Amino acid sequence: MQEWFIDWLGLPVVAIFVSLFVFYLATAALLVWLSFRSRLSERILSFKGLVAPFFVSTATIFALLVGFLSSDIWERNKQASRVVLTGGVAANTDLRRTLEGACAERGWELLVPSPRLCTDNAAMIAAAGNDRLEAGERAPLTMNAIPDLALA
């Protein structure tokens, strides 16, 4: 599996972006069809919480990250010799493994902290949201992001 991915990373940045866009568009069309036009739509619409679009978006972001690191930096800055991966995404085993392969192939040093140090606040936000949901609190679809919204 990793070989085709490394080959894909060798494509020009524009080709990587277009292929990701087409994949994302096709996935979105499939999700819309499943949710509103298929025989499963009633069941799918009854789901609560995180569903497939979140995971598809996350995978797309990971692919973009790896693609831009491996292709764009390589083409624009031939002196690149080190890649640093940090934050919550650095805990992703597949991302680590893929970047290890891409960096090894290009002779780059990959610096990644221990997985226990790679955290973000997604679990905290999810738990706070779940508490509010269980308490019966709902937000309208017109709600906008409030960066300093109190959690308690």
Q: What is the pLDDT of residue 110?
A: 92
For residues 71-81, average pLDDT: 63
Q: What is the pLDDT of residue 77?
A: 57
Q: What is the pLDDT of residue 54?
A: 54
Q: Which residue has the higher pLDDT, 103 or 32?
A: 103
Q: What is the pLDDT of residue 49?
A: 59
C-alpha 20/C-alpha 8 separation (Å) is: 11
Report domain extents, the chain: 2-134
pLDDT tens for each residue of 27-63: 778 877 877 888 887 877 777 655 555 555 666 666 6
User: Is the Cβ–Cβ distance between 110 and 48 less than 8 Å?
Assistant: no
- How far lies 83's CA from each of 92, 98, 102, 112, 124, in Å? 16, 13, 10, 9, 28
CB-based contacts of 46, cutoff 8 Å, min separation 6: none
Give the chain's mean pLDDT. Answer: 76
Which segment of 19-28, 42-51, 129-138 scores lowest on mean pLDDT?
Answer: 42-51
Phi, psi of 84 (to 5 degrees): -115, 125
Question: Taking the model in full, what pTM does it have?
Answer: 0.39
pLDDT tens for each residue of 56-67: 566 666 666 676
CA-CA-CA-CA torsion for 49, 51, 54, 55, nearest 10 degrees?
Answer: 130
